[in-house]
Amino acid sequence: MLEVKGIDVYYGKLHVIWNLSIMVGKEEGVGIFGPNGAGKTTLINTIIGLVKPKNGEILFEGRRIDNLEPHQIVRLGIAVVPQERELFPFMSVRENLELGADFIPHTKGRLNDLFNFVYEIFPILKERESQLAGTMSGGEQRMLAIGRALMADPRLLILDEPSVGLQPSIVIELFHKLKAIRKNGVSILLTEQNVRQGLKTVDRGYILENGRIVLKGCSKELSSNEHVKKSYLGL
């Protein structure tokens, strides 16, 4: 579904992503794990068109997208949930969700289906659809940000550090929700510092350090890798 092939990314003269390749298959969950400053957010921004690679190419469903603008990429079926959430605090939950559907032309019936899907995954959003987004807790805002992305009807959902700033119990609930989303046919690519919980959620993962992929494999393989255990799992 998504193929990132040998990309190099620079900020000015600073080389921040080095010959990086990853793949996300249909209905697959893939994680990019690594410390702060490893290049995870830069990778996401490159995939969604905010940053352009100097070398390499990015393909989605066989079509090259690294030459497209972000709004064009969204229309192809990729939605992103940024780390900062970027909600409209003085708008209601439902109004924020409606904004997620603005990028894609939907029939009224399809729009209703998307609302029902989001409310099925996140019932609390249905309960609080008239509440102002800015008055919700951090975990609820994260769920709203994910729900808004799902309103674009994506086939690939990208999440940048979804667990940042959330208490452990909310993190566990959130990752259970991501599994439910995948069961509905949506592929997921996420970046995470919480490697332990992330590996329980995805099928495969990549370890990114200093702009380079240093390890890759299925979740079980990475969980048992000595470098991962020592550096990320505290074992």
Distance CA 104, CA 107 (A): 10
pLDDT exceeds 90 at position 84: no
Residues in Cβ contact with 219 at an 8 Å cutoff, skipping those fewer than 6 apart: 31, 199, 200, 202, 203, 204, 205
Q: Per residue in 157-188, pLDDT tens?
A: 999 999 888 888 889 999 999 999 999 999 99
DSSP 4-34: EEEEEEEETTEEEEEEEEEEE-TT-EEEEE-
Token pair of 234 as six digits: 């505290």
Dihedral sign for Cα 100, 103, 108, 113, please.
negative
Q: Which amino acid is at 44?
A: I
The predicted structure's pLDDT at residue 108: 72
The average confidence (pLDDT) of the chain is: 93
What confidence tier does 83 reach under pLDDT thresholds 50, 70, 90?
A: confident
For residue range 29-61, list pLDDT tens digits in order.
999 999 989 999 999 999 999 999 999 999 999
Instruction: Identify which has the larger pLDDT, 31 or 235.
Output: 31
pLDDT band (50, 70, 90) for residue 235:
low
Give the mean model confidence (pLDDT) for residues 142-155.
Answer: 94
The reported pLDDT for the residue numbered 110 is: 82
pLDDT (tens digit, 9 = 90+) per residue, 85-136?
A: 789 999 999 999 999 888 776 667 788 899 999 999 999 999 999 999 999 9
Of 22, 11, 9, nearest to 189 (Cα)?
22
| Fold observed for domain 26-52+68-233 | Rossmann fold (3.40.50)
Helices 108-121 and 138-150, packing angle to 10 deg: 150
The pTM of the full predicted model, rounded to 2 decimals, is 0.93
Domain ranges for the chain, please list them: 26-52+68-233
